[in-house]
């Protein structure tokens, strides 16, 4: 019987080698899949505990004064660990830290096997959003009494270990038989657990659940198309407010009646009935998801005309599917047939995956991804990549096994179970299909789109539609992408795709025009040319961005006139040579594949490989075509071309982009003109009460019907809008002086609000200055400072960290101005450092300005100002998320009252009183308000 010791440490910092020490140790013993005992002790670190650690853990210096030093508990620790497997959540932190302390205390290191519950949980639960211990505890309903305390963390980690074992024990035998050999390539000693579980499972007769099957040696969920029971009766659409109130109250959802929501329902209903397009601005708190879902359901079920809903974010997609549509079904008292539609490459190609399992591949990321997918196949109905939590390397493996069609006429034995074909079949019988803007726009220019069957469309978060269209229609080619493609193909001696293709040619006695060594020579030359091209671009980017002010992300726009300059001729010639070499490689690969396809007797593994090669060839051609944008063939003034990269990783981080300057024309021709009714909704569509800017950007005619429904929130009672009158005008002082004044001001405000403050910036330089000035002042030592571009992690991770701490300040850049939802007391104070004008030298902004200038319009009033006002409205929307929220809104940019365009911003907000106060007056307001 295996004995596991689950360990967690609390420490004074992250590095034992730099002198950080353990302040609490806990070990939980697990035997026979049961928790047996737990040993916990505080440890005197013989040094002060930093305030941040005390805030995080609740362990202060007073609690450790009488605690033993580490050397006193070390013998007990050695005794517990003897003949055991060491387990921790992130074992690469806890084990080395413990080893360092044991060494310092004169004890030998632990030499037994180790196991990481991060790795184990990622395999056992491959679809979770986060593998942090607290998030896992929430997801798996493991009671976590005191996060960031070693005793509670160790106990929860032990329960997590048992949950992972239990999940794996529930897997079918065939899945475990495939997991065991793969587990030998993992970083930790998980193979023993998988072997034990498999051995135990084999002792019993297995009965698969009715919704699961084993096909060709792989266990997966059965695909069952929803039955079409003919027309369904959902009653009459509620006509007036009284009927709607009665209908809502009878639904059993407990939802309150909202007149604004009823109004929006009717406008969507009318748009569908009249078969017209409508732009509908719906203020925060209306409940717009249900306001458009109810009429969509009546249109789809009563009228038998399916409705497509597109959102910008994956989060809203999931909210619609997992929450709002379930609520809708409860109201209608009938199922609503719903499908989530993605692009083909989002789905798993089962034939390619099956064959990949037969390869002797021991590369960690590929092996790990295979294990995750095997477990996932027992759960997934959709086969959609977005369900999976793959690593970066795992996503590279996905490129090999993604569904991108069938390139040969040979039979795919998995076709009857194909996920993409299943999604299309579900869509054909769906009432409501949900997708995202990127997917919608990717289908715009196709002759046959997966969305052709949907003539009634709702675009949520419609203010992002034009941007999504530009990005999706646009093209990109990156250094990493091209080097990755080169590595996938490989030279003959590297034994990658090209080697395998050549071996297959030899097997069938076939010969191509170009010999293998000639192809190798072309590939070696191509590799060198790529290094030259991106090396030259790196130099040009650096030269153009000498003054980066510490911001690492840099951009360089490339205009048509650049190609006429002598300095750019070498870049142009190098690009042409790369494209010529890529074309030659394409031709020789096509020739080889064509010869192989003429062979009659081809085994399945060879056929799957040919499918993979055709898939690779399609990506290779696309990349070559995208490089045409860089060879001066950028389509004239309609497109903007630029190079983007990170100063810390040149040339590896460089990406070449080409986007249309204005996507409205494409949206009009390829989308709006082909649909009977499109409802476009968002909380921010108007500037100064006018839809003109939004209609122009999206290509909608000015005759399009427009509707504004204000928010039901009482902002005049929920918000204190303050403009400081004792801060300098940002245009009258240097950025350093303004940062200093701003930091001093915000230190006082932060103390008054007890943190719970988000500061929105438009410039990384200003963010960095203010962050360091505030942090290094020493005035807020027990506060958590979280800054985009400085603190590590994604936007959602930074937001979760902000919500986790009682006293926290969040410093955000562009992506924090919208889509961040922090309701309640977690956010009490929103600060805008500057009005959110886009940087004028940013490539797309500059190109847009050129575009309006060429049309005889003022770029500032036609583009820069309306764009800034919309971002301002989005930013303001972060503060009040429910009718119970209260908050302070501070705008530190005096231009909002001194510039002639200032009223454009203030008038864009709901009715709210503006106050001009000095710091002392502001602090008094905060004290009484919060």
pLDDT of residue 178: 96
Same fold, 3-167 and 715-929: no
Q: Is there a contact between 520 and 581 (Cβ–Cβ < 8 Å)?
A: no
pLDDT of residue 444: 85
Q: Is there a contact between 347 and 384 (Cβ–Cβ < 8 Å)?
A: yes
Q: Is the pLDDT reported for residue 692 higher than 90? A: yes
pLDDT of residue 489: 96
- Give yes or no for a cis peptide into 902 (omega within 30° of 0): no
pLDDT of residue 252: 67
Give the pLDDT confidence of 1-15 residue by residue, as tens digits. 689 999 999 999 888
> Which residue bears the tokens 């689950």?
6
| Residues that constitute the known binding site | 282-289
Average pLDDT score over residue span 599-614: 86
Q: Is there a contact between 384 and 435 (Cβ–Cβ < 8 Å)?
A: no
Q: Is the pLDDT reported for residue 789 higher than 70? A: yes
pLDDT of residue 633: 53
Domain ranges of the chain: 3-167, 344-467, 475-660, 715-929
pLDDT of residue 58: 86
pLDDT of residue 443: 86
pLDDT of residue 229: 63
Residue 348 carries which DSSP code? B
pLDDT of residue 720: 93
Q: Is there a contact between 123 and 372 (Cβ–Cβ < 8 Å)?
A: yes
Q: Is the pLDDT reported for residue 448 higher than 80? A: no
pTM of the model: 0.86
Q: Is the pLDDT reported for residue 548 higher than 70? A: no
Q: Is the pLDDT reported for residue 676 higher than 90? A: yes
Q: Is there a contact between 470 and 640 (Cβ–Cβ < 8 Å)?
A: no
Q: Is the pLDDT reported for residue 491 higher than 90? A: yes
By C-alpha distance, which of 435, 439, 164 is closest to 307?
435
Q: Is there a contact between 659 and 473 (Cβ–Cβ < 8 Å)?
A: yes
How far apart are alpha carbons 355 and 353 in whole angstroms?
5
- Cα 180 off chain centre by: 31
pLDDT of residue 542: 84
How far apart are alpha carbons 462 and 309 in whole angstroms?
11
Q: Is there a contact between 361 and 496 (Cβ–Cβ < 8 Å)?
A: no
In percent, the amount of the chain with pLDDT more than 70 equals: 97
In percent, the amount of the chain with pLDDT more than 90 equals: 63
How far apart are alpha carbons 216 and 354 in whole angstroms?
8
Let me know how long the chain is: 930
By C-alpha distance, which of 474, 468, 473 is closest to 311?
468
pLDDT of residue 632: 62
* Residues pairing with 659 in the sheet: 640
* Residues pairing with 307 in the sheet: 432, 456
883 class by beta-carbon count within 10 Å (0-12 exposed, 13-18 middle, 19+ buried) = middle
By C-alpha distance, which of 840, 839, 912 is closest to 877?
912
pLDDT of residue 199: 93
pLDDT of residue 51: 82
Q: Is there a contact between 337 and 430 (Cβ–Cβ < 8 Å)?
A: yes
Domain 3-167: CATH architecture, name and number where available: 2-Layer Sandwich (3.30)
Question: In a 3-state reduction of DSSP, which class is residue 822?
Answer: coil
Strand order from edge to edge, sheet including 85-88: 34-42, 22-31, 3-11, 85-88, 114-116
Q: Is the pLDDT reported for residue 549 higher than 60? A: no
Average pLDDT, the chain: 90
pLDDT of residue 225: 82
Give the pLDDT confidence of 700-756 residue by residue, as tens digits. 988 899 999 999 999 989 999 999 999 998 888 888 899 999 999 999 999 999 889
How far apart are alpha carbons 665 and 347 in whole angstroms?
31
DSSP string, 598-660: T-S---HHHHHHHHHHHHHHHHHHHHHHHHGGGTT-S-GGGEEEEEEEEGGGTTTT-EEEEEE
Fold held by 715-929: Rossmann fold (3.40.50)
How far apart are alpha carbons 460 and 760 in whole angstroms?
24
Give the pLDDT confidence of 330-339 residue by residue, as tens digits. 888 888 999 9
Residue 546 binned pLDDT confidence (cut-offs 50, 70, 90): low
Give the pLDDT confidence of 516-544 residue by residue, as tens digits. 999 999 999 999 999 999 999 999 888 87
The dihedral through the CA atoms of 684, 686, 688, 689 has a sign that is negative
How far apart are alpha carbons 144 and 156 in whole angstroms?
6
What does each C-alpha distance from 459 to 143, 505, 581, 672 come to in angstroms? 40, 50, 43, 11
How far apart are alpha carbons 736 and 769 in whole angstroms?
7
Range of 138-152, 213-227, 363-377 with top mean pLDDT: 363-377
From 675-679, 729-733, 923-927, the region with the lowest mean pLDDT: 729-733
Range of 172-176, 187-191, 314-318 with top mean pLDDT: 172-176
Give the pLDDT confidence of 91-125 residue by residue, as tens digits. 999 999 999 999 999 999 999 999 999 999 999 99
Q: Is there a contact between 784 and 801 (Cβ–Cβ < 8 Å)?
A: yes
Average pLDDT score over residue span 308-319: 88
Q: Is there a contact between 739 and 770 (Cβ–Cβ < 8 Å)?
A: yes
Give the pLDDT confidence of 378-411 residue by residue, as tens digits. 999 999 998 999 988 888 899 889 998 887 767 8
Which residues neighbour 29 within 8 Å (Cβ) at sequence distance 6 or greater? 3, 4, 5, 6, 35, 36, 37, 38, 80, 84
What number of CA atoms fall less than 13 Å from residue 918's CA on the CB side? 2
How far apart are alpha carbons 785 and 805 in whole angstroms?
10
Q: How many DSSP H helices and E strands does the chain contain?
A: 37, 25
pLDDT of residue 409: 67
Q: Is the pLDDT reported for residue 366 higher than 80? A: yes
Residues of 746-777 as b/e, b for ≥16 C-beta within 10 angstroms? bbebbebbbbbbbbbbbbbbbbbbbbebbbee
| Residues that constitute the known binding site for ATP | 282-289
């Amino acid at each position: 019987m295996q004995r596991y010791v689950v360990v967690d440490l609390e420490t004074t910092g992250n590095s034992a080698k730099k002198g950080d020490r353990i302040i609490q140790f806990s070990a939980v013993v697990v035997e026979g899949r049961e928790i047996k005992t737990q040993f916990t002790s505080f440890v005197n670190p013989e040094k002060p505990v930093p305030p941040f650690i005390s805030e995080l853990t609740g362990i202060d210096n007073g609690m450790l004064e009488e605690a033993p030093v580490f050397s006193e508990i070390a013998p007990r620790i050695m005794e517990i660990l003897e003949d055991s497997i060491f387990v921790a959540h992130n074992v690469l932190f806890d084990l080395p830290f413990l080893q360092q302390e044991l060494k310092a205390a004169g004890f030998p290191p632990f030499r037994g096997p180790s196991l990481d519950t991060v790795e184990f949980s990622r395999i056992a639960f491959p679809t979770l959003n986060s593998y942090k211990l607290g998030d896992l505890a929430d997801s798996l309903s493991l009671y976590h009494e005191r996060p960031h305390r070693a005793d509670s963390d160790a106990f929860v980690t032990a329960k997590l270990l048992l949950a992972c074992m239990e999940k794996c024990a529930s897997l079918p035998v065939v899945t475990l038989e495939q997991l065991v050999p793969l587990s030998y390539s993992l970083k930790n000693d998980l193979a023993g657990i998988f072997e034990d579980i498999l051995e135990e499972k084999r002792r019993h007769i297995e009965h698969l659940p009715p919704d699961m099957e084993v096909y060709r040696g792989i266990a997966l969920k059965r695909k069952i198309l929803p039955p079409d029971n003919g027309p369904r009766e959902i009653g009459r659409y509620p006509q007036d407010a009284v009927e709607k109130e009665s209908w809502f109250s009878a639904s059993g959802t407990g939802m309150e009646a909202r007149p604004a929501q009823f109004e929006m329902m009717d406008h969507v209903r009318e748009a569908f009935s009249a078969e017209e397009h409508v732009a509908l601005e719906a203020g925060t708190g209306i409940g717009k998801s249900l306001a458009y879902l109810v009429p969509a359901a009546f249109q789809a079920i009563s009228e038998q005309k399916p409705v497509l809903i597109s959102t910008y974010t994956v989060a809203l997609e999931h909210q619609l599917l997992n929450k709002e549509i379930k609520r809708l079904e409860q109201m209608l008292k009938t199922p609503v047939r719903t499908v989530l539609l993605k692009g083909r490459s989002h789905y798993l190609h089962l034939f390619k995956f099956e064959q990949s399992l037969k390869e002797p591949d021991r590369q960690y990321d590929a092996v790990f991804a295979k294990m995750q997918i095997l477990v996932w196949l027992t759960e997934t109905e959709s086969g959609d990549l977005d369900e999976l939590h793959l690593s970066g390397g795992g996503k590279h493996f996905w490129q090999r096994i993604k569904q991108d069609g069938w390139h040969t006429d040979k039979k795919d034995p998995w076709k009857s179970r194909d996920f993409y074909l299943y999604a299309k079949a579900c869509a054909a019988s769906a009432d409501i299909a949900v997708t995202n803007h990127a997917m919608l726009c990717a289908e715009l220019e196709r002759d046959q789109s997966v969305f052709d069957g949907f003539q009634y469309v709702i675009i949520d978060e419609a203010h992002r539609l034009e941007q999504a269209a530009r990005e999706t229609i646009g093209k990109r080619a990156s250094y990493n992408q091209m080097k990755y493609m080169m590595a996938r193909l490989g030279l003959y001696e590297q034994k990658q795709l090209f080697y395998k293709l050549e071996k297959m040619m030899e097997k069938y006695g076939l010969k191509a025009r170009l010999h293998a060594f000639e192809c190798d020579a072309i590939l070696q030359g191509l590799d060198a040319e790529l290094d030259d091209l991106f090396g030259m671009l790196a130099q040009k980017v650096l030269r153009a961005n000498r003054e980066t002010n510490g911001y690492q992300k840099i951009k360089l726009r490339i205009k048509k006139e650049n190609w006429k300059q002598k300095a750019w001729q070498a870049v142009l010639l190098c690009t042409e040579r790369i494209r010529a070499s890529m074309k030659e490689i394409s031709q020789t690969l096509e020739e080889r594949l064509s010869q192989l396809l003429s062979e009659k007797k081809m085994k399945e593994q060879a056929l799957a490989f040919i499918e993979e090669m055709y898939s690779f060839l399609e990506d290779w051609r696309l990349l070559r075509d995208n490089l045409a944008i860089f060879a001066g063939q950028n389509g004239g003034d309609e497109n903007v071309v630029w190079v983007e990269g990170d100063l810390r990783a040149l040339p590896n981080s460089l990406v070449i982009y080409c986007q249309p300057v204005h996507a409205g024309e494409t949206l009009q021709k390829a989308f709006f003109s082909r649909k009977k009714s499109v409802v476009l909704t968002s909380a921010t569509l108007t500037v100064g009460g006018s839809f003109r800017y939004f209609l122009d950007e999206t290509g909608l005619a000015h005759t399009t019907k427009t509707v504004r429904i204000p928010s039901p929130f009482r902002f005049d009672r929920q918000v204190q809008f303050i403009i400081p009158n004792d801060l300098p005008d940002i245009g009258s002082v240097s950025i350093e002086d303004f940062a200093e004044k701003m930091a001093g001001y915000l230190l006082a405000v932060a103390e008054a609000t007890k943190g719970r403050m988000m500061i929105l910036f438009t410039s990384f330089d200003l963010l960095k200055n203010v962050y360091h000035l505030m942090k290094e002042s020493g005035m807020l030592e027990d506060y958590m400072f979280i800054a985009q571009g400085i603190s590590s992690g994604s936007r959602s991770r930074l937001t979760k960290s902000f919500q986790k701490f009682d006293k926290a300040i969040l410093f955000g850049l562009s992506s924090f101005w919208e889509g961040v939802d922090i309701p309640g007391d977690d956010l009490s104070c929103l600060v805008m450092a500057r009005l959110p004008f886009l940087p004028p030298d940013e490539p797309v902004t500059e190109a847009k300005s050129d575009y309006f200038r060429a049309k005889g319009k003022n770029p500032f009033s036609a583009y820069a100002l309306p764009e800034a006002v919309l971002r301002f409205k989005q930013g303001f929307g972060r503060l009040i998320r429910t009718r119970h929220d209260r908050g302070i809104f501070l705008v530190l940019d005096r231009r909002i009252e001194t510039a002639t365009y200032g009223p454009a911003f203030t008038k864009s907000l709901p009715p709210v009183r503006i106050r001009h106060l000095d710091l002392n007056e502001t602090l008094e307001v905060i004290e009484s308000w919060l």
